[in-house]
Structure 1
């Protein structure tokens, strides 16, 4: 004959068995991967794979990322963010450029961003004492050190995040490619990239040309006042300058002849 204790135990066991039968197993995370071609992580560009990766590298450099790879078809970079005094965030970019076999000078860029979270943790360090017979013995004397420990790692899946990055890559494509493909020219200032000073000066000059200038009001002619004649000044009489004295040379007088000159004889007739 069953007692009340046995009846209660049997009822509890039936309830637990029913709850276990009704509960369904948890869905694994990889079951959400449907591998559809959403285009979130890839873009096609009308350039070679080397030119596409060069534009991707320049886009990361313009935003403060540190490039850690030197392969012309692979770009890796990371950027750190200090949220609080005890938490740290790091975004690591990995970009692969592959040649598109459908057309020449076309490539596909695959971008992936990984977000790692770090937290400040205390690590206990215990001291060890070596004994020849017993070996190494751990002593309770130790210390604690603070260190950053990775606590989470997740792939960034936001479509808007990758759209902003691919839009910045379009800015760094060669000018002739954008002109041939009729890609819209987006201002670099809207994407966080400073423009050259020469371009800014040209834009200011063009903007000043487009601004209409109001016509100037006619200016009344100025009335000229007659100039009063200046008082006449009496002319100054020229002063006579004495001529310099020139020494006169005197010639000595010739002596008078003492004897008379006889007359010439007349010819005979």
Structure 2
């Protein structure tokens, strides 16, 4: 009897281990090692070279963001940050945060590269019903749900917007702002 139990236990353990082989491994988990998909490809660039100094390039970035309704939170010494809020659906809120860093290039820093990345955060409305407790001495306390709720936005996703047409449109607008600003100075 003891030997039969041992054999059954060993067989069960062998089946359990064989079954674990079918589970996804940590190396195939797409959410765990995102950095492995980072390509650092030269074709996907978050930067553009401009024929202007750092101050003029960052000013063009600031004006481009302002012209599209972004709220500027920082604009100094080669850095511009701005955000814009969207509500694509009734209970969904999206925020895009732009970060622009302007770096001088060339021997006299007469040209500058603008490095740009934008992050999109997605929020969903979470409803928390409020309940009230009533104390009745003979029965104890009773919780009664009220008709009101306490709503809050909860971040459900966050990602850097990938390089592509989105940034190309921004860089084109920056170039236009740079041309307009330099033609106004003359």
TM-score category, normalised to shorter length: 0.7 to 0.9
| Structure 2 counterparts to residues 154-169 of structure 1, below 5 A | 154-169=159-174
**For 1:18-46, what per-residue CA distance to the aligned partner results, in whole angstroms no more than 9, with x for missing partners?**
34356532351222234444452111111
Please identify which structure carries the higher helix content.
2
- Following TM superposition, by how much is the alpha carbon of 1:120 offset from its aligned partner in structure 2, in angstroms? 0.9
Tell me the equivalent position of 1:24: 25
- Following TM superposition, by how much is the alpha carbon of 1:15 offset from its aligned partner in structure 2, in angstroms? 2.5
Tell me the equivalent position of 2:103: 98
What CA distance in whole angstroms lies between the structure 1 residues aligned with 2:90 and 2:25? 42
Higher relative contact order (CA 8 A, sep 6+): 2
User: TM-score, normalised to structure 2's length?
Assistant: 0.73
User: TM-score, normalised to structure 1's length?
Assistant: 0.53
What CA distance in whole angstroms lies between the structure 2 residues aligned with 1:72 and 1:174? 21
Structure 1 residue 61 corresponds to structure 2 residue 66: yes
Worse overlay, 108-117 or 71-80: 71-80
- Following TM superposition, by how much is the alpha carbon of 1:16 offset from its aligned partner in structure 2, in angstroms? 2.4
Tell me the equivalent position of 1:118: 123
- Following TM superposition, by how much is the alpha carbon of 1:150 offset from its aligned partner in structure 2, in angstroms? 1.8
Tell me the equivalent position of 2:154: 149
Tell me the equivalent position of 1:244: none
| Structure 2 segments unaligned to the other structure (5+ residues) | 134-141
Give the match's secondary structure for 1:60: helix
- Following TM superposition, by how much is the alpha carbon of 1:177 offset from its aligned partner in structure 2, in angstroms? 7.1
Q: Rg bigger for which structure?
A: 1
Tell me the equivalent position of 2:15: 15
What CA distance in whole angstroms lies between the structure 2 residues aligned with 1:176 and 1:13? 74
What CA distance in whole angstroms lies between the structure 2 residues aligned with 1:118 and 1:87? 6
Tell me the equivalent position of 1:70: 75
The structure 2 residue matched to 1:88, chosen from 86, 93, 118, is 93
Aligned residues: CA RMSD = 3.1
